[in-house]
Amino acid sequence: MIDSHCHLDSDQFDSDRDAVIERALAAGVEKMVAIGTGNGPPDLEAGIRLADRYDCFYATAGVHPHDAAKAATATFDELARLLTNPKVVAAGEIGLDYHYDFSPREVQRDVFIEQMRIAAAAQKPIVIHTREAWADTIALLHQHWTGSGIMHCFAGGPEEARQALDLGFYLSFGGIVTFPKALDIQQAARIAPADRILVETDAPYLAPVPKRGKRNEPAFVIETARKLAELRGETLEHIEAATTENFRRLCLRYTQ
């Protein structure tokens, strides 16, 4: 399987990162995507450092909406350069977060738009983080993006799923889809086409049931895949094969 989104650079893994990676590989997670947003600009290489050190990682590079206010002209030049690295499979995570508002919304939108421009020039897909900002996110994608990408930790219902799918996006399901009260997300997981689904952990955050409340790690992505299989009436093997093939189709076109 492929964990399409994790933050293994987090200091929560400093004491046992190698063991966490071993457990992922032992659980059948052969590849993980190291999201490279780290602690924000000027450092955009948190994901690349992991991919350089371990063969089992692909990386992304980008400015998280939380860090948008830290972005400068040099940040965008650096991002353009990093996106040419063959280990960098996408720009991200980028988007809008109106829940925390760690950066002013107008700045978040400008930085999101600029990063879409850079990703388009590099012909790389984008990984979207959107929280309490769905309408603005979709509107900006319509205006500024013609490629494909990933709705990371997809948390909408069937209507939002339809909007994202119409834009050509893939829905990446994380631990939330396993939560008993996530009925809308579960319905979206039932109706999503098999060739547009991905799975992720977003480790160390949002561990799936039955690990809920613990530090999340890539090995747990299997629990999310299991839930998708149950919701869709498919086998776990089918979900594993579909999500792996989907990731390869979307993200490895230009690198392999």
Chain residues binding Zn ion by CB under 5 A are 35, 93, 129, 202
Residue 238 three-state SS: helix
What's the min distance (Å) between Cβ of 241 and Zn ion?
25
**What is the strand order of the sheet 169-173 is part of?**
2-6, 31-34, 57-61, 88-97, 126-131, 149-151, 169-173, 197-199
Residue 85 C-beta-side C-alpha neighbours within 13 Å: 23
Give the CB-nearest residue to Zn ion. Answer: 129
* Residue 91, CA distances (Å) to 64, 119, 148, 194, 219 in order: 10, 6, 11, 24, 24
- Cα–chain-centroid distance for residue 56? 16
- Residue 99 CB partners (closer than 8 Å, separation 6+): 131, 132
State which residue, 126 or 232, has the beta carbon closest to Zn ion.
126
What's the min distance (Å) between Cβ of 66 and Zn ion?
9
State which residue, 54 or 205, has the beta carbon closest to Zn ion.
205
State which residue, 124 or 232, has the beta carbon closest to Zn ion.
124
Name residue 151's beta-bridge partners.
Answer: 128, 171
State which residue, 78 or 202, has the beta carbon closest to Zn ion.
202
What's the min distance (Å) between Cβ of 214 and Zn ion?
17
Q: Is omega for the bond preceding 93 within 30 degrees of 0, making it cis?
A: yes
If residue 141 lies in a helix (H) or strand (E), which one and from where to where? helix 134-144
State which residue, 24 or 35, has the beta carbon closest to Zn ion.
35
State which residue, 38 or 163, has the beta carbon closest to Zn ion.
38
What's the min distance (Å) between Cβ of 117 and Zn ion?
21
Name residue 226's beta-bridge partners.
Answer: none
What's the min distance (Å) between Cβ of 234 and Zn ion?
26
How many C-beta neighbours within 10 Å does residue 214 have?
11
What's the min distance (Å) between Cβ of 196 and Zn ion?
19
